Amino acid sequence: MAKIEEKMLPIYVELNRPGITTEEVEDVYARWVKDYDKDMADLNYFVSSNNAYVVEKALKHKNDALILDAACGTGLVGVELTKRGFHNLHGLDRSTAMLEQAKQKGIYKKMMCASLGPNRLGIPDDTYDAVVMSGAVGSGHVDGSCLEEFIRIGGYVVMDTTLKFFHRVSYQGKSWDEIIDNHIMAGRWVTVTRRLVEQSFNSLDGIQYAFQVK
């Protein structure tokens, strides 16, 4: 694959500053929300369609499956899932501004404002056939502390990381991949796919993950 240059929108650079806090991230998204979808298209954001494809394969075209789009943002993954015939979608994000933008797309039957982390979500065990999270791992965003909750509430878990950013995140001294592997070794989930995706976002390589909860 021919290498393309990474694009550097000022607000994108601001968002991905090392050490950015959760509060600063929320402020950036509130300012970016109106142009977010357009800018993601300009930044070659293939992650949404890639993850929707993996969800489709995992669920074997079960279009009535209940799916949680975690860290849904403006609903880009939800749009891709809808294109594949899924209509039973819930969206969750901590940014009220992003949720309001997603609401306008009319693709989620339920929307929740909540943070992803070690905190227990107000969702019963085994609620979802699948949980999908795209483009959310990084400084001031999401770390591996949310994975235990995904296991509790989901059947399949489909996620991605961007290699440039996910090395910056850890939880209780453990990296993202260490936490994933701990759950594998504990028998909580099994790997469906774990692969390198070249130029998955803005010329940057990433890793795509899919796990089946046991």
Tell me if 131 sits within 8 A of 150, measured CB to CB: yes
Q: Cβ(134)–Cβ(110) under 8 Å?
A: no
| Residue 77 near residue 134, CB atoms below 8 Å | yes
- Quote the domain boundaries for residue 124: 21-213
CATH number for the domain that contains residue 140 = 3.40.50.150
- When pLDDT is averaged across residues 156-181 and rounded to a whole number, the result is 93
**Average of per-residue pLDDT across 4-26:** 86
* Number of other residues whose CB lies within 10 A of the CB of residue 106: 10
Q: Are the C-beta atoms of 205 and 199 separated by less than 8 Å?
A: yes
| CA-wise closest residue to 116 among 152, 162, 67, 167 | 152
* Cα maximum dimension of the chain: 46
Q: Is 4 within the bounds of a domain?
A: no
Residue 192 lies in a domain: yes
Q: Which residue do the tokens 């977010």 mark?
A: 36
- The answer as to whether 9 is a domain residue is no
Residue 1 lies in a domain: no
Total tally of structural domains belonging to the chain: 1
Give the mean pLDDT of 142-151. Answer: 97
- In which residue are the tokens 């059947």 written? 155
Max avg pLDDT among 16-20, 147-151, 159-163: 147-151
Is pLDDT above 80 for 156? yes
Residue, of 3 and 135, whose pLDDT is higher: 135
Would you say residue 162 lies in a domain? Answer: yes
